[in-house]
Structure 1
Amino acid sequence: MSKNSKDTLKISGIDTSVLRIALGTWAIGGWQWGGPDDGNAIKTIHKAIDNGINLIDTAPIYGFGHSEEIVGQALKGKREKIVIATKAALNWTDDKEKIFRDARPERIRKEIEDSLRRLKTDYIDLYQIHWPDDKTSIEETAMELEKLRQEGKIKAVGVSNFSVEQMKSIQHFTQLSAIQPPYNLFEREIENDVLPYAKEHSLAVLCYGPLCRGLLSGKMIKDRVFQGDDLRKTDPKFSTSVFDNYLAATEELTQFAKDTHNKTLLALAVRWVLDQYQGNIPLWGARKPEQIEGIRDALGWSLSANDLKTIDEILAKHIKNPISPEFMAPPNR
């Protein structure tokens, strides 16, 4: 594993430095990813740890608690070496058919206790509000988070999918250490405001979807069929005529990565996220041990200014109107 200091990071409020690639566990929960596979999931977490990953990001909504339970099982005997990030403020109906935002203090209080139990721990390192809830004041939400921090149940506060204005508001009432937005070569909306704000305030940025739901994995093919509740069935990048444009871009990026750095598209995509800001932490989503392969290839090197310019030119050539990831947003309460 890389010893390069540029590939590690200290998140404010958390003592342990983390590798700047974290394990994302949405797929491990099974929901929207074709169902769970617990045996492989635990092996995947162990392989990630063996490859130097020491930050694991999860959430109650990932399998309605199942992802957290699997992480808790996998970390038995390893907890103190691992930084756990989880989330709060999404709720669901008893039949799990409807999901909605819910950042009320009583909901957060219930969620923290449920998460601690599932994760088999007495504290969470990074506790994040998953989506902003416009029916609850940010002050109420933030003050409950600050109480949890004072009680020692959480070490640091983060937010996910928040605007700059919402981040400014929460910082009136608690210290913000990290944010979690979507960010990858194809989805770059945060460069307009969220990323500059993170840089200005030295926030860690946990970047979800660095491979854009597999588009940047190097394994996506035109006639791929998505089964069951797979999220990509509703992602406009995969279901419309623009899919061909995205695939054409990945083909050229694959050749560029090989010719210039002898790297895979996957390594290029993750390195690109790392090189945009020293505080970026791409979330490496995996549900099988073999999907951990390639982590080392993204570390210990950098893209040059010329590389970044060429990448932008390839994107501009193939993708005239980039599609944002807004389709993933859950409804308000």
Structure 2
Amino acid sequence: MEYIKLGNTDIEVSRITFGSWAAGGWMWGGTEQNDAVGAIHASYDLGVTSIDTAPIYGQGLSEEIVGEAIKSLPRDKVQILTKFGMRWDLAKGDFAMKTKNNDGQDLDVYKYAGRDSIIKECEDSLRRLGTDYIDLYQQHWPDVTTPIDETMEAAARLLEQGKIRAIGVSNYSVAQMEEALKTVELVSNQVPYSMLRRDIEKDVLPFCQRHDMSILAYSPMQLGLLTGKMKPGQHFDASDLRSTNRLFKPENVTRVNEFLEKIRPLAESKNATLGQLVLRWTLAQPGLSVALVGARNAEQAIQNARTTDFELVTHEVDFITERLEQMQQQPA
């Protein structure tokens, strides 16, 4: 496994980080807790020391699963990355979405990052995680109803109290990061990034590089589309967010699979899966610190962790990028 420091801190995280959204079941068609705990342990055994979670994932369930998993692990050897600012139990702030919980009940979710809310959320997360500190505390989504300085002042207070070790954001624009940096030192921005979604390369990524902020890429496998295992017209339950995602339309799945077939020989030459090759390419992108990758069971977790077992040299990265750009130039 490869490791990298978050921003200017001494917090070292694994470049493959366990993403536990799917482990919480919410919007992924349910979960099996024992499988998720086993997946985290299997990742840790192969050097994946960092786990990313959030209260909204399963409305506390993902954090509880992570808490259960780390009980038997040395706490100082594990980095817990969690978030704040999405409330399903309080109708306040910026309305985010109507959804359903794991039991199929209607749920209204709000982006809210007021001072008192953040303090409460932190205590709730610490309890669910069974720990007395969080390594990286990230604002999950910007909240347009709360001034950024109020949000960051509350996070700074938690930092002073030792309840968190570093402050990060997620889904922040350059303007929002500039505003936040007036109040605190941000160490990271967690943003969507994959072969099929590279828009952060225009402004967010260069800004983070200039300000020594780490980029944590979520959905690097584009919700499983880049594994090569998706078939055109594949059925997803209504509770699965892929059921309405335009990238999973049959014609797009076909196009992506054709691209993946072109790079398959390179994966085979490395004794790697297509998914591992995709992740390796992602980590090779300048300024990209960490890839957050989900796993529902130990087998998937082991595959993800073994991404760093092989190298890609410059001309191999270029070969993949050229094939990718050829695909993207085709009419959708």
1:304 to partner: Cα distance: 3.0
- Compare 294-303 and 67-76 and name the one that shifted more: 294-303
Residues 8 and 221 (structure 1), Cα distance of their counterparts in 2 relative to 1, 3 Å cut: same
**Among candidates 56, 70, 73, match of residue 61 of structure 1:** 56
**Residue equivalent to 1:298:** 307
**Residue equivalent to 1:270:** 279
In the alignment, the residues of structure 2 paired with residue 289 and residue 128 of structure 1 have an alpha-carbon distance, to the nearest angstrom, of: 27
**Residue equivalent to 2:298:** 289
Residues 158 and 231 (structure 1), Cα distance of their counterparts in 2 relative to 1, 3 Å cut: same
In the alignment, the residues of structure 2 paired with residue 317 and residue 10 of structure 1 have an alpha-carbon distance, to the nearest angstrom, of: 34
Deviations 1:175-222 (A, max 9, x none): 101110011111101101111112112212111011110111232222
**Residue equivalent to 1:33:** 28
What stretches of structure 1 move > 6 A for 4+ residues in a row? none
Query: RMSD of aligned C-alpha atoms?
Result: 2.0
SS at match of 2:303: coil
Residues 239 and 222 (structure 1), Cα distance of their counterparts in 2 relative to 1, 3 Å cut: closer
**Residue equivalent to 1:112:** 122
**Residues 9, 187 of structure 2: 8 Å contact kept:** no
In the alignment, the residues of structure 1 paired with residue 320 and residue 112 of structure 2 have an alpha-carbon distance, to the nearest angstrom, of: 39
SS at match of 1:35: coil
1:270 to partner: Cα distance: 0.9
Identical-pair percentage: 41
TM-score (norm 2): 0.89
Answer yes or no: is 1:317 the counterpart of 2:312.
no
SS at match of 1:281: strand
**Residue equivalent to 1:207:** 217
- Compare 168-177 and 92-101 and name the one that shifted more: 92-101
Q: Which amino acid aligns with 1:293?
A: I
TM-score (norm 1): 0.89
- Compare 20-29 and 195-204 and name the one that shifted more: 195-204
In the alignment, the residues of structure 2 paired with residue 280 and residue 166 of structure 1 have an alpha-carbon distance, to the nearest angstrom, of: 20
In the alignment, the residues of structure 1 paired with residue 288 and residue 242 of structure 2 have an alpha-carbon distance, to the nearest angstrom, of: 28
**Residue equivalent to 1:136:** 146
- For structure 2, the residue ranges without an aligned partner over 5 or more in a row are 91-104
Answer yes or no: is 1:160 the counterpart of 2:170.
yes
1:14 to partner: Cα distance: 5.2
**Residues 228, 257 of structure 2: 8 Å contact kept:** no
**Residues 14, 125 of structure 1: 8 Å contact kept:** no
- For structure 1, the residue ranges without an aligned partner over 5 or more in a row are 324-333
Q: Which amino acid aligns with 1:319?
A: Q
Q: Which amino acid aligns with 2:66?
A: V
